[in-house]
């Protein structure tokens, strides 16, 4: 039987037994004796023999338990948002079965995470659409009705109250515009009707006006076709990236690019803000983790790193749709 096929116990026992057998053989074949009153040379020989036993035992046990150490390290550092992490199979045996079971467990967990994450994001988008419709159809209509009521009240108010009426109507219009803005952010209708480039153009324009940040756009026209799910993921990553810039970056300029890759589409959002504190990427908060979740679900890759000229760069690459998906 190959040594890798032995159990952990027998591998450890074999390593220790081999060291002891080696020491016994050395004592037999070498002219070493221990006198009743032990001499210095005999002490040195015994110490050297003990040292040799310990070295051999260490090397043998080290080799036997190295796969277990790799398994423990993988268990401590595994990240389900970074799929494909697997341990090499140490060719059978108890440790081989442990490694195989761990790899199978990772496969199941990644599959379950993709499925549950997909359901969660689908439910989230459905809830966003429901809230957006409620804001647009109910709250928007109520505010529009208030404006109409204020218009009818205008002629009956005295002249000294006309300025108050104008101010009130302005506040209602501002509230109505805010409701419409929130509704558009929750449900990007332009993405459904006019496509990804138009939706990103509107998104960046609105944020530029609102936050006072210059946003340079570079959207190439000849882009591979994406599925509706992938387009939504790209839009949400761009939305989260631009929102993070407006909230945290203290930037004056942002560049957003959309370009073709190797049978893929690449979104890049970079800013000239203060970047990561001390040059280190911060612990993942909800926004970055949500972007990684979306990247995982559509088979894309997400990188959040320091920008080439300061600030932060978010790079999101997603695969193009296959022909049947594109036709559908």
**pLDDT 10s digits, 160-197:** 777 888 888 888 888 888 887 777 777 777 787 788 89
pLDDT at residue 286 in the model = 53
Beta strand residue intervals within the chain, DSSP E: 214-219, 253-260, 264-271, 301-306, 312-319
Dist CA 289 CA 271 (whole Å): 20
Pick from 248, 246, 233, 247: nearest CA to 316: 233
Dist CA 235 CA 228 (whole Å): 11
Q: Give the position of tokens 């221990």.
A: 34
First to last CA, the chain: 56
Pick from 168, 253, 236, 239: nearest CA to 206: 239
The pTM (predicted TM-score) of the whole model is: 0.62
pLDDT at residue 217 in the model = 92
Domains of the chain as residue ranges with CATH: 3-112 (no CATH), 193-328 (3.30.565.10)
Q: Give the position of tokens 């006198």.
A: 35
Instruction: Calculate the average pLDDT of the chain.
Output: 77
The share of the chain scoring above pLDDT 70, in percent, equals 76
Pick from 307, 240, 301: nearest CA to 271: 307
Going 227 to 233 to 236 to 242, the CA torsion angle's sign is negative
Which of the residues in the chain have pLDDT under 70?
A: 1-13, 15, 19, 23-40, 42-43, 45-46, 64, 77-85, 89-95, 117-118, 136, 277-286, 323-328
């Amino acid at each position: 039987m190959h040594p890798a096929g032995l159990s952990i116990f027998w591998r450890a026992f074999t390593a220790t037994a081999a060291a002891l057998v080696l020491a016994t053989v050395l004592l037999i074949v070498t002219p070493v004796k221990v006198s009743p009153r032990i001499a210095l040379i005999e002490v040195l020989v015994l110490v050297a023999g003990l040292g040799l036993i310990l070295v051999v035992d260490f090397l043998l046990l080290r080799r036997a338990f190295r796969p277990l150490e790799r398994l423990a390290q993988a268990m401590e550092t595994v990240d389900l948002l970074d799929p494909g992490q697997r341990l090499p199979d140490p060719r059978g045996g108890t440790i081989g079965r442990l490694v195989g079971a761990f790899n199978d467990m990772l496969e199941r967990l990644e599959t379950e995470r993709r499925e549950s994450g997909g359901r969660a994001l689908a439910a989230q988008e459905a809830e966003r659409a429901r809230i957006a419709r409620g804001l647009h159809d109910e709250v928007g209509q109520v505010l529009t009705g208030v404006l109409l009521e204020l218009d009818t009240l205008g002629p009956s108010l005295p002249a000294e109250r006309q300025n108050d009426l104008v101010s009130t109507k302005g506040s209602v219009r501002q509230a109505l515009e805010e409701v419409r803005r929130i509704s558009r952010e929750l449900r990007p209708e332009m993405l459904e009707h006019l496509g990804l480039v138009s939706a990103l153009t509107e998104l960046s324009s609105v944020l530029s006006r609102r936050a006072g940040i210059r946003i340079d756009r570079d959207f190439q026209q000849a882009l591979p076709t994406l599925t509706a799910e992938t387009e939504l993921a790209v839009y949400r990553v761009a939305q989260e990236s631009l929102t993070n810039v407006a909230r945290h970056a203290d930037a004056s300029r942002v560049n957003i690019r959309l370009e073709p890759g190797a049978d893929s589409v690449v979104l890049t959002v970079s800013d000239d803000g203060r970047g990561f504190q001390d040059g280190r990427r911060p612990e993942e908060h909800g926004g970055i983790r949500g972007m990684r979740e979306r990247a995982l679900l559509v088979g894309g890759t997400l990188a959040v790193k320091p920008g080439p000229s300061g600030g932060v760069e978010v790079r999101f690459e997603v695969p193009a749709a296959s022909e049947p998906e594109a036709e559908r």
